[in-house]
Chains A and B, each alone.
Chain A
Amino acid sequence: MRGREFSVLMGPSLLVMFGLLVVPLVRTIQWSFENVQYGSPGDFVGLSNYAHALTDPRFGRALMFTLLLTVIVTAAILVLGYLIAIGMNGLGKLRPVILGAMLVAYVLPTIVGAVSFSWLFDQNFGGAVNWVIHAITGQDVLWFTETWANRAMIIAHTVWHMLPFSMLMILAGLQGVPNELREAAKIDGANTPKTHLYIIIPTIRGVLGFVCLITIMDVLRTFDNLIALSPQADAIGNESIMLYVFDSAFRDGAQQLGLGSAINVLSIFLIIICLFPFIRGLLKEAKAKA
């Protein structure tokens, strides 16, 4: 393919990415060095927004909570997604129905699922979960105000919402595992756990890596569901990084747009670090082809 053809085909996409992603990003970086309000030029303040962010205990809490959520959710999703995909792959005629039913959790808007969870759990809404727990233990769990109870509900919702996608990806990956490979393993005397550990998982490790990446990226920017699930997020230590940005840079008059922008820039660094293995893989591939 010639360079000119390449530019014609890439052109519209590059234009959109430049105008609607790069330009706003540059603005965010600029804001991160300023004391600024929407619609008026800011004053350059150097690194003081960054210093503020890095010494702010609230940012520390938000970072820790977000990382904790990311680790737990990603681990749960990989394990459960794999198990369900394996089961699903062995299903016959039932598969379309069960798969369709499971995908409902994924296709629902995040906010809708979060509202449903809050109604299902909390006693303020006559939640069934709380009612069952009360019937068994005689205790009421305070899903909205107790830190760990609230975390459990947030984790449950996030796993519930993201699991179907990873399961679907892994299921798709399993379609590429040749049956000969499984049969050969069986003939060689491998038992089921060994077949999974040494044959299937290495064969689909690309898919598992991709699922892991997507899940990490999506949990790191948790925002939508906390609006419904954790109305007092900051007070009970369950504020995510993005919720903190929203609070400082948009809600209540956007008093700290500069600080919010600095946190945005810091999160971009965090994300690039997470992306690093994939970046290296891509560059290697390019080198091999060039």
Chain B
Amino acid sequence: MIADTIKAPSGKAGVKILTAPRPRKKKNPTAAILLIITAVVMLTPFIWTALSVTKPTDVAFANPPVLTGYAPTLEAFQNLWETTYFAQYLVNTVVVAVISTVVALVIGLPAAYALSRFPGYVSAILLLLALVFRSLPRFAVVLPMYEISKSLGIYDTTFALSAALVAINQPFTIWLLRNFFADIPKELDEAAMIDGCTRIGMLWRVMIPLMRPGILTAGIFVFLFAFQEYLTALILTDTSSKTVPVFITTQLGQTLPMLQQAGAAAMLLTLPVIAISFIAQKYLVAGLSDGSVKG
């Protein structure tokens, strides 16, 4: 099904394939070369960091940069593992990202469906609120959350951070998923309900399977947002639920070995999401062109 969506994103394209052989796109080698150069340039900061982290500390930040004649080492990674609580921070980051993604989807999916099927001012205003909430300056909600979480005794817990991220990222989920639902004809709901499904049963048996690309797209984005989050984690965590991005900044401006540890932490945090960017890109293009960006 996903493969179909990629090949024929709209009904029109499907018809066209039947009526006339699609002329092959003209290959443009200049464009390809330019794009390859752009991609390499965009990878440079990442590659440079990888190099700095695998150099011995005495040449890692030397000016002018030392590019050859050193023995690559993984000492920074070993240091990171042995002298800091990196493993704990990494677990925190992953736990918070996974929990907040799942909860944001579970709550956001029915809401998005309801908004797509209940036309009128109520839905428009709720949708608008979602848009405003998505754009809020973070501090306007996170600073009060800091005080509230302290008074509730849940400050510096992964629970508090996950809850905050669910609230902050959920509007985006609703916004994205509503557009996917809006593309599914209402007659389908009605048919399923005439056949004896309840509204919830229909949502579960008919809509969710149909929405798989949309859910995947929304899930990837919310996971990335939570994984990358710095500001919220900075305010709501202290020592026991600290996440890797916060850890990285506390290492800055310290000694050179600590700086290298920060780089090593950055690499370890980044490798899994890079895998995501390569695996997920085709779903993202298909998912986004199906849903969110029409109109």
Contacts and interface: CB of A to CB of B under 8 A. Distances in A.
A171 interface: yes
A285 B31 CA distance: 39
A96 B26 CA distance: 18
Contacts of B144: 23-25, 27-28, 31
B140 interface: yes
Contact of B36 (A98, A126, A223): A98
A227 B234 CA distance: 12
B42 A176 contact: no
Contacts of A283: 124, 128
A20 B289 contact: no
Contacts of A227: 230, 249, 252
Contact of B262 (A101, A115, A127): A115
Interface string B254-295: 000001001100100110011011100110111111001111
A75 interface: no
A39 B149 CA distance: 11
Contacts of A154: none
A224 B231 contact: yes
Contacts of A252: none
Contacts of B284: 168, 172
A99 B135 CA distance: 27
Contact of A108 (B39, B46, B60, B164): B46
Contacts of B143: 24, 28, 249-250, 257, 260-261, 264
A100 B277 contact: yes
Interface in A107-157: 107-113, 115-117, 119-120, 123-128, 130-131, 134
Interface in B158-188: 163-164, 166-168, 170-171, 174
Contacts of A31: 144
Interface residues of A, number: 110
Contacts of A13: 107-108, 110-111, 170, 174
B121 A109 contact: no
Interface in B55-95: 60-66
Interface string B134-156: 11111111111111101100000
B157 interface: no
B127 interface: yes
A84 interface: yes
B227 A109 contact: yes
Interface string A168-191: 110111011011100000000000
Contacts of B262: 115
Contact of A242 (B138, B171, B274): B138
Nearest to A13: B111
A290 B125 CA distance: 13
Given A178-B13, A279-B128, A173 B146 contact: no
Given A126-B64, A173-B293, A221 B137 contact: yes
Given A24-B144, A119-B52, A268 B285 contact: no
B273 to A, nearest CB: 4
B45 A160 contact: yes
Contacts of B124: 282-283, 285-286
A176 B183 CA distance: 14
B210 interface: no
B31 A176 contact: no
A172 B285 contact: yes
A260 B144 CA distance: 12
Interface string B209-246: 00000000000000010011111000100000000110
Contacts of B34: 87
Given A109-B245, A116-B45, A38 B139 contact: no
A178 to B, nearest CB: 6
A199 to B, nearest CB: 16
Interface in A210-262: 210, 217, 220-221, 223-224, 227-228, 231, 241-242, 245-246, 249-250, 257, 260-261
12 contacts: A13-B110, A38-B147, A87-B31, A97-B278, A103-B281, A105-B43, A120-B45, A164-B42, A168-B281, A178-B13, A217-B135, A267-B140
Interface of B: 9-10, 12-13, 16, 22, 25-28, 31-32, 34-36, 38-40, 42-46, 48-49, 52, 60-66, 106-108, 110-111, 113-115, 117-124, 126-148, 150-151, 163-164, 166-168, 170-171, 174, 199, 203, 224, 227-231, 235, 244-245, 248-249, 252-253, 259, 262-263, 266, 269-270, 273-274, 276-278, 281-282, 284-289, 292-295
Given A25-B136, A84-B38, 16 more contacts: A20-B163, A20-B167, A27-B148, A84-B35, A105-B42, A105-B43, A108-B273, A109-B269, A112-B266, A124-B61, A125-B61, A171-B285, A224-B231, A241-B137, A265-B140, A271-B135
Interface of A: 1, 5-6, 8-10, 12-14, 16-17, 19-21, 23-25, 27-28, 31, 38-39, 84, 87-88, 90-92, 94, 96-113, 115-117, 119-120, 123-128, 130-131, 134, 160, 163-164, 168-169, 171-173, 175-176, 178-180, 206-207, 210, 217, 220-221, 223-224, 227-228, 231, 241-242, 245-246, 249-250, 257, 260-261, 264-265, 267-268, 271-272, 274-275, 278-279, 282-283, 285-286, 289-290
